[in-house]
Structure 1
Amino acid sequence: MNKTQPTRRRLILFWAIAMGLAFFLLFCGAEILLRIALQRRFTAETDAPLVRSSMPELGYQLAPNWKGSAETDPRGLRARPADAEEPRHRVLLIGDSVTFGSGVKYEQSYGPILEKLLSRGLGKPVAVWNGGVPGYNATQEAAALRRAGPLVKPDLVVAQICMNDYMEAPVLTAGGTLDATHTEGGGGFSLLQFLYRSRVFVLLKEKLKDRQKQYPERFPKWLHYIPHLRDKPGWIKVRQSLLQMRREAAELDTRLLVVVFPVEEQLRIPDHTVQDDLREFAKQNDIELLDLYDTFRAHWREDLYVDYWEQAHQIDKLHPNARGHELAAKTISSAILSRLPPYFTP
């Protein structure tokens, strides 16, 4: 009995070590394979002409004077048609790929539609300048306002907020793509940082998120990321960025309207805790905020989102499609035109 017990312990220890080693080798093999053969799967290609920015807070920005599928003007904003007459009012849009118009033709995005609706509603020409850049988080959006605001001198700034604005800024690669493995986990070294730099972990996580986006009702609410956003370290940065936008708008002597875009996943769960948090924060800090949740929730069965994002190689359900952009533009325009006191002076 005394001889058998140590033998069993050694066998258990042997197999535990063997299985652990086998798992480690399998993990390393999969990691190498994914890094070599499937690197494209972990970067988001974009039709936006991105270049490194001289502003450290931005990291990257749109290239000026770009001619192609996404044209830009000399200021590095999305190009718009020449004005037949001098605009009476100017609006600057700040945001990420939603504002940029990823997934739709640019004329179908909410920026150009908003310009037409405001011009028609006011009976005066309104110019809407688009400063949206794919991949930007809330911190970058506040910095983008600091860069573009003095160039446009807007009467109104519309800052678009989305459910991924809490994430860390993606990294612009030498090939012009955005590295998707550097967007979570925080700085420095930690187990979480290691995991988010692992291609295996990121692939498994994204596959799970794809299923949640497709069939959100099949997962318990606690398993979705949306209800936990307020607990993320990056959510503090979202709040700080809203305060920074308010300060930037004040220095420009312009008005600020923050517009919160929901994602389809939270409309179907349903969950609006993030919007509730933002509304309360905005109220406490005298920030004007328009929440699109109720409007999109009432129409989500009408198919408002891009199903698959070819450039990022993943299920989308975050970027509005043409119908979603039109609904957003109408809602934003109505809120602006009905505002008392008015956003625009005669």
Structure 2
Amino acid sequence: MSRGTLRAITLVVFTFSTLLSVAVAEGIARFFIQLPQAKIYPQVRYQPHPVRGFTLQPNQTAYTKDQFATIDMLGFRTNGPKATSVIPKLRILALGDSFTFGYGVADYETWPAMLERALSYKIEVTNAGTTSYNVFHEFDLLREKGLALKPEVVIHGLYWNDHLMNRPPRATDPPLLTTDGHFAWDGDDDPASGPLWLSGVRWLRGHSVLANAALTQARRYFVPANSGVHQYDLEYRKLLAGELLPESWQVIEDFYRDMKQLGEESGFKVYVIIFPVRDIVTMPDSANHGYARLIREILDRQGISYLDGIALWHQARLGVNLFLPYDEHLTAEGYRIIANALAADFCSKKFHRAFDIACES
């Protein structure tokens, strides 16, 4: 056998054994780890806003991950079809970020939609949640559009990162949106319009657990230290370690003070959902994590009622299976648990007189 033939056979055997090893490793990994949620295009689109920087584009039908999302003429997400003629007795405005919008779940699977169903549509819940909004954006949206709806209750969905980037956009800031109306940092533009190599990378991430893990890790090393992604990761690690100082949350306390005052002036009551944080709920004493305690103290000082999602997850031992794969957002089942807990809390308290009617069986 010639040396060239031997080299060719060696190369074939090496290639085959490598591919087989990768396939076996991928199979084992998939047994323990889910593939990331796929994306169907077009993803939800945004448009520039003079104060907040961006807002949901009205009158659109698109996808959030692989789930259908419908945005109405006001720029609010709909709650899906309603097979009822019941006249609502109470109007609620749901204010918040992607946890309220319902990132990665269908219109009828968001917590505002499920809260309507939990109370047999005797209440009307308008979903004003907008992905990547923080309390600055949410308060401005409330004043611009929310007050005109004359809500009797405003439920704010709080996530740990709501204290970040609470200011209007500056001229020196990098662009927030692509020309297609997607966030510049999300890569949500249709891959068919991008270079072939980018389509290949996205395909790998969506079809291989190992490739997705490797590319995610590589991103941490190649992202500039001064980028928003890197700064977000630093803040998150500080949060988990309990190293964020109380002063960091002053913007949250100011927001709730202003919300309560606006409610007194405009005729609505304020209620808050403290959404669970994936890496906190896995801790042994998650309900007493510094973040959870501090937010409860803020709300207690302001006299605002709330649902503590971190304590709820801890008490019911719900774990991380109710979070989307590779994501901090909840699954539809996670939002159902939130909505049912909200309904139970409203019906067990004299929170608002209209709930007495809504809670009648």
TM-score range, shorter chain: 0.5 to 0.7
Residue 205 (structure 2) pairs with residue 201 (structure 1): no
- Please state how far the C-alpha of 1:51 moved relative to its aligned partner: 1.2
Counterpart-to-counterpart distance in 1, 2:88 and 2:334: 27
**What are the within-5 Å matches in structure 2 for residues 47-196 of structure 1?**
47-54=43-50, 56=51, 58-69=52-63, 70-80=69-79, 81=81, 84-119=85-120, 125-168=122-165, 172-175=176-179, 176-180=181-185
Give, in whole Å, the separation in 1 of the partners of 2:133 and 2:149. 20
Deviation, 1:68, is 3.2
Could you tell me which of 237, 240, 261 is aligned with 1:226? Answer: 240
Q: 1:46 to 1:145 in 2, by over 3 A?
A: farther
Deviation (angstroms), 1:203: 8.3
Correspondences of 1:287-326 after superposition (within 5 Å): 287-297=304-314, 298-301=316-319, 303-308=321-326, 316=327, 318-326=328-336
Greater Cα shift, 244-253 or 130-139: 244-253
Query: CA 1:137–1:227 in structure 2 vs 1: closer, same or farther (change >3 Å)?
Result: farther
Do 2:153 and 2:270's aligned partners in 1 also have CA atoms closer than 8 Å? Answer: yes
- Alignment of 1:258 with 2:279, yes or no, is no
Change (3 A) 1:115 1:260: same
Identity of aligned residues (%): 24
C-alpha distance in structure 2 between counterparts of 1:229 and 1:47, whole Å: 36
User: By how many angstroms is 1:174 displaced?
Assistant: 3.0
Q: 1:343 to 1:295 in 2, by over 3 A?
A: farther
Alpha-carbon distance change, 179 to 251 in structure 1, aligned in 2, over 3 angstroms: farther
> How many Å separate the matches in 2 of 1:147 and 1:46?
27
Over the residues paired in the alignment, what is the CA RMSD in angstroms?
3.2
CA 1:261–1:277: 2 relative to 1, 3 Å: same
1:338 aligns with 2:337: no
Change (3 A) 1:51 1:241: same
CA contact (8 A) 1:255 1:343 kept: no
CA separation of 1:341 and 1:127: change in aligned 2, threshold 3 A: closer
Alpha-carbon distance in structure 2 between the residues aligned to 1:232 and 1:47: 37
Of residues 257-266 and 135-144 in structure 1, the stretch that sits farther from structure 2 once superposed is 135-144
Q: Deviations over 1:245-303 (max 9, x none)?
A: 21222222011101110211011124421121111111112222221112112333361
Q: Is the 8 A contact 1:306 1:321 kept in 2?
A: yes
TM-score, normalization: structure 1? 0.67
Q: Is the 8 A contact 2:238 2:244 kept in 1?
A: no
Please state whether the residue corresponding to 1:165 is helix, strand or coil.
helix
Unaligned runs of 5+ in 2: 1-40, 64-68, 170-174, 187-219
> In structure 2, what residue type is equivalent to 1:131?
A
In the alignment, the residues of structure 2 paired with residue 46 and residue 336 of structure 1 have an alpha-carbon distance, to the nearest angstrom, of 37
> How many pairs were matched up?
262
TM-superposed deviation, 1:150? 2.0
Q: Which residue of 2 aligns with 1:282?
A: 299
* Structure 1 residue 207, shift from structure 2 partner: 12
SS in 2 for 1:256: strand
Distance 2:253 2:268 in 1: 20
User: What TM-score results when the alignment is normalised by the length of structure 2?
Assistant: 0.64
Extract unaligned runs of 5+ from structure 1: 1-44, 182-195, 214-222, 309-315
Aligned residue in 2 for 1:23: none
Deviation track 1:5-57 (CA, whole Å, cap 9, x = no partner) reads xxxxxxxxxxxxxxxxxxxxxxxxxxxxxxxxxxxxxxxx9933211224x1x
TM-aligned CA deviation for residue 343 of structure 1: 5.0
**How far is the alpha carbon of 1:205 from its aligned partner?**
7.2
Change (3 A) 1:284 1:203: closer
Structure 2 CA distance for aligned equivalents of residues 238 and 208 of structure 1: 17
Distance 1:276 1:105 in 2: 32
DSSP 3-state at the match of 2:345 = helix
Amino acid at match of 1:334: A
Which segment drifts farther, 94-103 or 264-273?
264-273
